[in-house]
Amino acid sequence: MNKRNKILISSSAKETIEQSAQLAKELNLGLEISRVPLYKEEKLTVQDTIEILKKDIEGFNNRITLHAMFSDVNVSSQDCLLRKFSQQRCHESYEIGKSLKADTILFHSGNKGTKHYGSIDSFKKNFTAFWKDFIKEFENSGIIAVIENVFETEPEFCLDLIEKTNSPNLKLALDTGHVNLYSHDTQITDWIKAYSNNLYHMHIHNNFRTNDDHSNLSNGTINYNEVFNTLNELNLEPSIVLEMFTEEDIRKSIDLMFKLNFLEP
């Protein structure tokens, strides 16, 4: 049985972050802020972005998490300038999350699944070099950073990244829709078991294994009864974001969570 204060909705649920915050407040759920305006507006500063977002969530007192800027971000890029700018985006995301009092900040791994000679070793080396230093900011502030799977086809890849970094403030986020889309040989329940106590955060949604639809929990090939049962059996209580982009899909998903006895009314 998952506690209600562990459930959040995405700020992309409604047309504006302010509207999404109002919906989360109505549902008595938390809010994960995604797609911060900084990455689209060149003239905006980090402080501008913080002020805009603070205004958007004014009066919202439930839990806040932040989805860090992710578009084309790859802190492990072999291109030194792309690596530098990606790392800058991570630092900016941290400053935004800290100012908004987010307790968790989610980052994509940046892995594109390249398999040419030496690429995986190079990726992990660059990732670890950056995160061993960057994670110190999280340790000092008490914020948890989580790494989300996107194109990974097996759980060991992201597990290895956090084990190499070796910090209590770096954990894992499991995106069930991405597993369903890209990891056809490994079940979501297998990822949950592999992540075990490193599983701190989840994005849940559904699809039919052809597109990243972010549809409601009933609309796709993922069996959420199995997902929730596995979490309960392992006594895992990660925070869970209903990462779908319409109010209707969110409400349908909450109804399913009630029906499966995973969430109390």
Q: Do 172 and 158 touch, CB atoms closer than 8 A?
A: yes
Q: Are residues 159 and 196 in contact, defined by beta-carbon separation less than 8 angstroms?
A: no
What gap in Å lies between CA 168 and CA 177, rounded to an integer?
26
**pTM check: above 0.75:** yes
Domain extents for the chain? 4-259
**Mean pLDDT, residues 75-101 taken together:** 96
The mean per-residue pLDDT over the stretch 60-76 comes to 96
Q: Look at residue 158 in the predicted model and tell me its pLDDT.
A: 97
Supply 228's token pair.
């929730």
CATH number of 4-259: 3.20.20.150
φ/ψ bin of 104: left (φ > 0), alpha (ψ from -120 to 50), beta (otherwise): beta
Convert the pLDDT of each residue in 174-195 to its tens digit. Answer: 999 999 999 989 999 999 999 9
Task: Report the SS3 class of residue 247.
Answer: helix
| E strand or H helix that includes residue 174 | strand 170-175
Would you tell me how many other CB atoms lie within 10 Å of the CB of residue 28?
10
**Would you say residue 19 has pLDDT above 90?**
yes
Return d(Cα 108, Cα 71) in angstroms, integer.
Answer: 9
Between CA 246 and CA 254 the distance in angstroms is 13
Taking all residues of the chain, what is their mean pLDDT, rounded to a whole number?
95
* pLDDT tens-place string over residues 90-139: 999 999 999 999 999 999 999 987 777 678 899 999 999 999 999 999 99
